Structure 1
Amino acid sequence: MSHSDLNGDKLWSRSFLSICLCSFFVFITFYILAVTLPAYALDELDGDKNSVGLVTTVFVVAAVIFRPLAGRWLDEMSRRKLVLASLALFGACSLLYLLVPGYTALLALRFVHGIAFGVAATSTSAIVLDLIPNRRKGEGIGYFTLFMSLAMVIGPFLGLSISEHAGYRPLFVFIGAAGMLSLLCGLLIPIPPRAPRPQGENLGRGLLRYFEPKALPISLAGFFLAFAYGALSTFISVYAASIGLTSAASYFFIVFAAMVLLSRPFTGRLYDRRGAHLLVYPGAVLFAAGMLALSAAHSAFGFLLTAALIGLGYGAILPSFQTLAVQSAAPHRGALATSTYFVLFDLGFGLGSFLLGLQAAHTGYRTMYVTGGLIALLSVSSYFLLHHRRQSSAALKAADPVRQD
């Protein structure tokens, strides 16, 4: 009997809150460092302007490499030991920023920190599924991802505020504290045993040991969503300055987060009661419309209105995609499904930031956001072609098993 079965339909248990807070501290550390380390490398470590982006790149590369490995390890070894080891390494790396002597050492630390992040983030995202009641999966994952979204908004604000007003040493003290708090929360999580593997089933060979094929269709849709989102999170402040709305830029993600926060309670319940289609299609339209409107924004009101549209759309799509990825696989392959989804999501984010940034350098930011809106529509197109249509076909065959296509 699973942990969720023992707790009936209760969602907000100590276990669920602990793992949500654990994820929050992991991600707030990630987002604080993402916005402050490039400037730190340039100002304090004499980093090269042409290569300072490596402080983010090596972190993401390490995380992408180790996410599928974490998915496999979760199915093969003690989940508690894996979670606590990754969180201990994450906390230790968070403390070591205080002692970094130079730029090369910083890059080495970033790679190891990325490994810890990839394993810890994948592990908590997989284990939380066993802490959520079966009839409240959509709602539970919605709240879990909400903590990530809050970290995404609060992190950059805190990071820039602390570094600007107090300096980098107090910033790294805060980072170290957040890393250790993630470990403390991890210690409070009673991790349930993994779902049993069917007798006689092997773990597969080659890529099947690291990826869940059934999760690939929805993960590809997530890839396109992340690709478009990469342009939003990376370039919004630069774009705001280019159109004379610098003062509004700091409020963009506050409005974005507020809409995600407001949407999360009812989107999760809608998913559980009506399914994903009711959220994904309107969410994609809102997200794409917001990106296209952003490309034409001229006033602070219009600029922030696009943040509300994009936030509503993102808040509906993201937890839906993650839940579908997990539900596409057998329970005992849930960890692999989770890591498969996040590998493609991380790749989409990284490639989107890089490639759309190259486009912006040649065509301007307005055109870049038009492209981002069109790519967001690719997300819903791939959802329909690779998931919705297949699901409908499978349902027809189940209703009429004699029918042959």
Structure 2
Amino acid sequence: MNNPDPKSNSLWTKDFILTSLSNLFLFFSFHLLTPILPVYVVEMGGDKFAAGMVVGIFTVSALVIRPFAGGALDILDQKKVLFFGLIVCALSVISYEWMVFVSFILVVRTVQGIGWGIVTTTYTTMVSDFIVAKRRAEGMGYFGLSINMGMAFGPLIGIWLMVEFGFNYVFLIAAISILLSMILSQFIHYQPKPFKKANSEKVSFIEKRALLPAVMVMMVTLAHGGILSSLTLFGQETGIINVGWFFLASAFSMMVSRPTAGKVADRIGKNFVIVPGALTLVIGLLILSY
């Protein structure tokens, strides 16, 4: 792996910036589609359960593939793993234009989830290697801004494109965004992995120390997933033309808080970030329910 010089405090290296930009275009593509796919399913004749499934089935397939993607990154060339995942994502997005049945949409969404799980696992692994250990939380906070920026503008632009030009334009822009992510990824410096002999020791996919953070992230994303899958349809029922403004406001708040949260976690401790963050999330969800 491409480990940073431990004597250097540099965070904004070329590889860190390129990885963040490439990740930005990937998440922009994802958030372009997220609010409009439930509407697409309903207009194709599906019910609200099927509309929710386009989010659920995507998440499940991404979840299942992640441990295998992580294992592949330990033994295979990161560049090849990343390129494969991006190809799967791009082909899946392009395929939405030719869907004639809701069942086909769900199949393609499953395949897209596999590509998504591979790519996001790869980007996170790569960027953690580019950040010096003592600035890791801060660096991951800045890297997270690429996710927030995609979330800020993706839904807003996606819904606008859907209303003004139709679904096919959304799929086209989403595919182009993945293509840009693919192009940028070719300029990232990948160090070849040393050959590894097969290890006879038993390998487990479960790291006990990661269980508590994993459960906490799962609970947060369950709530967030419900909002993603239902908010656009809710907006249509209540007469809100573009609920993308909700995502813009949410992403802006995260962009403001992430850098500070990373520095606090590095210098004082992660609990000083997790507890206030969880409380504000609960308050926000309660306000949204009314």
8 Å contact kept, 2:156–2:242: no
Match of 1:272 among 243, 262, 266: 266
Tell me, in whole angstroms, the C-alpha distance in 1 between the residues paired with 2:7 and 2:186.
20
Partner of 1:127: 126
Q: How many aligned positions are there? A: 290
8 Å contact kept, 1:92–1:179: no
* Residue 180 to residue 241, structure 1, CA distance change in 2 (3 Å): closer
* Residue 192 to residue 272, structure 1, CA distance change in 2 (3 Å): farther
Question: Could you give the per-residue CA deviations for residues 95-126 of structure 1, whole angstroms, max 9, x where no partner exists?
Answer: 33333344333332222111111111111111
Q: Counterpart amino acid of 1:262?
A: V
Tell me, in whole angstroms, the C-alpha distance in 2 between the residues paired with 1:239 and 1:94.
24
Tell me, in whole angstroms, the C-alpha distance in 1 between the residues paired with 2:160 and 2:15.
32
Match of 1:260 among 232, 254, 257: 254
Identity score, percent? 27
Question: Could you give the per-residue CA deviations for residues 335-363 of structure 1, whole angstroms, max 9, x where no partner exists?
Answer: xxxxxxxxxxxxxxxxxxxxxxxxxxxxx
Question: Could you give the per-residue CA deviations for residues 296-333 of structure 1, whole angstroms, max 9, x where no partner exists?
Answer: xxxxxxxxxxxxxxxxxxxxxxxxxxxxxxxxxxxxxx
Structure 1: which 5+ residue stretches go unaligned? 296-364, 367-405
Q: Counterpart amino acid of 1:220?
A: V
Q: What is the CA-CA distance between 1:250 and the residue it aligns to?
A: 4.9
Whether 2:199 is the aligned partner of 1:204: answer: no
Partner of 1:4: 4
Whether 2:220 is the aligned partner of 1:221: answer: no
Tell me, in whole angstroms, the C-alpha distance in 2 between the residues paired with 1:216 and 1:191.
30
* Residue 165 to residue 256, structure 1, CA distance change in 2 (3 Å): same
User: Which structure 2 residues correspond to residues 151-166 of structure 1 after superposition, within 5 A?
Assistant: 151-166=150-165
Q: What is the CA-CA distance between 1:157 and the residue it aligns to?
A: 0.8
* Residue 249 to residue 34, structure 1, CA distance change in 2 (3 Å): closer
Q: What is the CA-CA distance between 1:89 and the residue it aligns to?
A: 2.1
Partner of 1:41: 41
Question: Could you give the per-residue CA deviations for residues 267-302 of structure 1, whole angstroms, max 9, x where no partner exists?
Answer: 22222222212212222222223333x06xxxxxxx
TM-score (norm 2): 0.86
User: Which structure 2 residues correspond to residues 2-81 of structure 1 after superposition, within 5 A?
Assistant: 2-5=2-5, 8-43=8-43, 45-48=44-47, 50-81=49-80
User: Which structure 2 residues correspond to residues 103-142 of structure 1 after superposition, within 5 A?
Assistant: 103-142=102-141
What is the Cα-based RMSD across aligned positions, in Å?
A: 3.1
8 Å contact kept, 2:23–2:147: yes
Question: Could you give the per-residue CA deviations for residues 105-160 of structure 1, whole angstroms, max 9, x where no partner exists?
Answer: 33322221111111111111111100112221011100111211221221111110
Tell me, in whole angstroms, the C-alpha distance in 2 between the residues paired with 1:274 and 1:116.
37
Partner of 1:176: 175
8 Å contact kept, 1:25–1:179: yes
8 Å contact kept, 2:161–2:167: yes
User: Which structure 2 residues correspond to residues 192-341 of structure 1 after superposition, within 5 A?
Assistant: 192=191, 202=200, 204-205=202-203, 208=204, 210-235=205-230, 246=240, 250-292=244-286, 294=287
* Residue 139 to residue 203, structure 1, CA distance change in 2 (3 Å): farther
Tell me, in whole angstroms, the C-alpha distance in 1 between the residues paired with 2:245 and 2:49.
30
SS in 1 for 2:34: helix
* Residue 240 to residue 113, structure 1, CA distance change in 2 (3 Å): closer
Q: Counterpart amino acid of 1:88?
A: I
8 Å contact kept, 2:22–2:181: yes
Q: What is the CA-CA distance between 1:193 and the residue it aligns to?
A: 5.4
Partner of 1:83: 82
Q: Counterpart amino acid of 1:283?
A: G
Report which stretch shifted further, 97-106 or 166-175: 97-106
Tell me, in whole angstroms, the C-alpha distance in 1 between the residues paired with 2:239 and 2:136.
40
Q: What is the CA-CA distance between 1:48 and the residue it aligns to?
A: 4.7
SS in 1 for 2:50: coil
Tell me, in whole angstroms, the C-alpha distance in 2 between the residues paired with 1:167 and 1:245.
19
8 Å contact kept, 1:91–1:183: no
Q: What is the CA-CA distance between 1:9 and the residue it aligns to?
A: 1.5
Q: Counterpart amino acid of 1:188?
A: F
Question: Could you give the per-residue CA deviations for residues 161-197 of structure 1, whole angstroms, max 9, x where no partner exists?
Answer: 0011011222221111012112112212112456999
User: Which structure 2 residues correspond to residues 86-105 of structure 1 after superposition, within 5 A?
Assistant: 86-105=85-104
8 Å contact kept, 1:162–1:168: yes
Q: What is the CA-CA distance between 1:94 and the residue it aligns to?
A: 2.5
Q: What is the CA-CA distance between 1:240 and the residue it aligns to?
A: 7.3
Tell me, in whole angstroms, the C-alpha distance in 1 between the residues paired with 2:208 and 2:135.
25
8 Å contact kept, 1:24–1:147: yes
